[in-house]
């Protein structure tokens, strides 16, 4: 087995250090010559954030942020060519943004907090508060994030996944339940460790006694992709057809990849608790479609299921028909289904077009005595919704 250790700091501290409130421009030296250092972003005590960019020749600079009113936020230029704008107070959250300079999307060169989401890059800024504490590394015991290469019966070569092990795993003897957590369309195995900061969330929840210590396995949900494209290059087979966040049109390969290859590998190489009651599967968007088609079918393997922002349930009538097609017994014998499920968790952003359909499917399942935990969060189809989803779901798993 090939294992590659990555220090937690590589995934989280690079973009999780909150911006301070120094002077807008501070003195510095480089090569023996004085120069000005631009402070951006600058988080103020009341939650307002000031962004700055030195671009003397630009005619228009905008901030493109994912907070309300943050898209196309116009900046103003002073006599030195320094552009700036200050937002209204923002809610405590890990926010994402880029600059648009004369129509060209660019990163903030003064902010080293950068995330990659698929092939796109963005800066982040953490506004501290009670709601965002779970996203900030605290002075608590930390788990480990490990890259593993899992033999694939479909690709005939190993594929990469990340595995979070909780504090105390290394050097211990305890066995742990496992959550198999999938990314969405365009993502890869780095999505949940980086964009989702799953390890930071779990470290904090475990330290507070809010979540049971568990292992989280974050594979590449594209069964025909060896690893993130920056590492492995293009896919060696055509990608699955994707539509409405539902994932690939045929899920037999996903089932083989997860149930046939990934789970046996994890249970051989990590100290896990055996049995379906100690396995959960969840995914966002495309990953929720895969979860729906694999976990709803394989209740003999998974006892806990999470669907985050599921396009497959956007149309409630079609969603219920999909569930019926995947596993006729799921709806035909609700008493048995309810008994087999330890947790069925649905979540979505309040501004996501999928939210109404998911709410109606959750309501319908609850009316049939198949309990669904239904959560909504401010936001669209985005990571701030999915990070909070993981934080809430983790507190309910394996209890």
Residue 114 CB neighbours (<10 A): 15
pLDDT of residue 117: 84
Question: How far apart (Å, rounded) are the C-alpha atoms in residues 81 and 364?
Answer: 58
Could you give phi then psi for residue 135, rounded to 5 degrees?
A: -95, -5
102-111 per-position pLDDT tens digit: 999 999 999 9
10-39 per-position pLDDT tens digit: 344 334 444 444 446 554 444 333 346 899
Strand, helix or coil for residue 261: helix
Helix 355-367 / helix 316-326 crossing angle, nearest 10 deg: 60
Domains and CATH numbers, the chain: 19-23+34-127 (2.60.40.10), 144-394 (3.40.50.1820)
What number is the average pLDDT over the span 67-90? 95
Residue 176 pLDDT > 90, yes or no? Answer: yes
Residue 243 pLDDT > 70, yes or no? Answer: no
C-beta separation of 269 from 149 below 8 A = no
Residue 247 pLDDT > 70, yes or no? Answer: no
What number is the average pLDDT over the span 206-212? 98
Residue 264 pLDDT > 60, yes or no? Answer: yes
Q: How many Å from the N-terminal Cα to the C-terminal Cα in the chain? A: 32
Question: How far apart (Å, rounded) are the C-alpha atoms in residues 383 and 398?
Answer: 24
Residue 399 pLDDT > 50, yes or no? Answer: yes
Chain mean position to CA 66:
15
Confidence of residue 156 (pLDDT cuts 50, 70, 90): very high
Strand, helix or coil for residue 191: helix
C-beta separation of 126 from 118 below 8 A = no
What number is the average pLDDT over the span 215-219? 98
Residue 270 pLDDT > 70, yes or no? Answer: yes
What number is the average pLDDT over the span 184-205? 95
What number is the average pLDDT over the span 330-344? 98
Give the mean pLDDT of the chain.
89
Q: What is the CA radius of gyration of the chain?
A: 22
What number is the average pLDDT over the span 228-246? 50
The torsion of the CA quartet 358, 361, 365, 368, rounded to 10 degrees, works out to 160
Question: What CA–CA distances, in Å, run from 83 to 24, 44, 123, 278?
Answer: 11, 18, 17, 53
Confidence of residue 229 (pLDDT cuts 50, 70, 90): low
Question: How far apart (Å, rounded) are the C-alpha atoms in residues 354 and 277?
Answer: 29
Q: What would the two tokens of residue 283 be?
A: 């995914």
Give the rounded percent of residues in the chain with a pLDDT score beyond 70. Answer: 85
Residue 127 pLDDT > 70, yes or no? Answer: yes
């Amino acid at each position: 087995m090939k294992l590659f250790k990555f220090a937690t700091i590589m995934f989280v501290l690079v973009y999780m250090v909150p911006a301070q409130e120094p002077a807008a421009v501070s003195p510095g030296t480089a090569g023996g010559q004085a120069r000005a250092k631009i402070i951006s972003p600058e988080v103020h005590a009341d939650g307002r954030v000031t962004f700055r960019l030195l671009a003397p020749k630009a005619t228009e600079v905008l901030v493109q942020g994912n907070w309300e009113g943050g898209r196309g936020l116009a900046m103003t230029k002073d006599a030195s060519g320094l552009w700036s704008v200050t937002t209204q107070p923002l809610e405590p959250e890990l926010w994402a943004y880029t600059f648009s300079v004369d129509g060209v999307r660019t990163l903030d060169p003064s902010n080293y907090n950068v995330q990659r989401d698929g092939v796109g890059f963005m800066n982040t800024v953490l506004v501290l508060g009670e709601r965002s504490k779970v996203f900030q590394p605290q002075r608590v015991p930390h788990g480990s994030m490990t890259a593993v290469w899992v033999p694939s019966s479909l690709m005939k070569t190993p594929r990469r996944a990340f595995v979070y092990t909780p504090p105390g795993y290394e050097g211990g003897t305890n066995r742990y339940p496992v959550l198999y957590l999938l990314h969405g369309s365009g993502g890869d195995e780095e999505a949940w460790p980086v964009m989702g900061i799953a390890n930071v969330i779990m470290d904090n929840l475990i330290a507070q006694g809010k979540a049971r210590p568990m292992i989280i396995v974050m594979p590449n949900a594209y069964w025909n992709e060896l690893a993130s494209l920056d590492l492995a290059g293009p896919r060696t087979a055509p990608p699955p057809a994707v539509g409405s966040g539902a994932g690939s049109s045929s899920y037999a390969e996903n089932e083989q990849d997860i149930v046939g290859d990934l789970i046996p590998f994890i249970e051989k190489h990590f100290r896990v608790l055996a049995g379906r009651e100690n396995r959960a599967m969840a995914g966002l968007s495309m990953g929720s479609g895969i979860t729906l088609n694999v976990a709803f079918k394989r209740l003999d393997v998974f006892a806990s299921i999470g669907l985050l922002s599921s396009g497959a349930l956007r149309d409630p009538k079609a969603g219920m028909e999909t569930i019926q097609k995947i596993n006729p017994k799921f709806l035909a014998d609700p008493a048995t289904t309810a008994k087999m499920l330890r947790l069925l968790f649905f979540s979505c952003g309040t501004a996501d077009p999928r939210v109404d359909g998911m709410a109606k499917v959750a309501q319908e399942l609850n009316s049939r005595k198949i309990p669904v935990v239904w959560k909504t969060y401010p936001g669209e189809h985005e990571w701030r919704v999915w990070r909070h989803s993981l934080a809430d779901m983790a507190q309910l798993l394996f209890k």
